[in-house]
Amino acid sequence: MSSLLRKKLDICYICKVKTTEIIKLAIENIPEGTTFGYSDLNIDKSNYVAAAKAIERLIVAKKIKKLSKGVFYKPEQSVFGELKPSDEELLKNYLYQDNKRIAYLTGTFLYNRMGLTTQVPAQFVIACNLKRIYINTQKIKAKPVKSYVDVTEENYELLGFLDALKDWKKIPDLDKTSGIGILLSYLTSMNKEQRDLLVTLALKYPPRVIAFLGALFEEKGFVDKISELKAKLNPLSTYNFGIKPVDLPTIKNWNIT
Residues 70-116 pLDDT 10s: 888 888 877 777 777 777 778 888 899 888 999 999 999 999 999 99
As a whole number, mean pLDDT of residues 36-51 equals 78
Check pLDDT > 50 for residue 67: yes
My answer on whether 188 and 224 are in the same domain is yes
Domain that holds residue 213: 175-257
The HSE-up count of residue 41 (CA atoms within 13 Å, CB side) is 30
Which of 25, 48, 83 is the C-terminal boundary of a domain?
83
CATH of the domain at 56: 1.10.10
- Report strand pairing: 124-128 vs 141-146: parallel
Contacts of 234 (CB under 8 A, 6+ apart): 207
β pairing state of 35-37 and 135-136: unpaired
Angle at alpha carbon of residue 17, lines to 12 and 20, rounded to 5°: 125
Q: pLDDT digits over 173-205, tens only?
A: 999 999 999 999 999 999 999 999 999 999 999
Confirm whether 74 is domain-assigned.
Answer: yes
What's the pTM value of the predicted model, to 2 decimals?
0.78
Number of domains in the chain: 3
Which residue, of 83, 101, 119, is where some domain finishes?
83
In a domain, 159, yes or no: no
Do 179 and 255 belong together in one domain?
A: yes
* Residue 79 shares a structural domain with residue 91: no
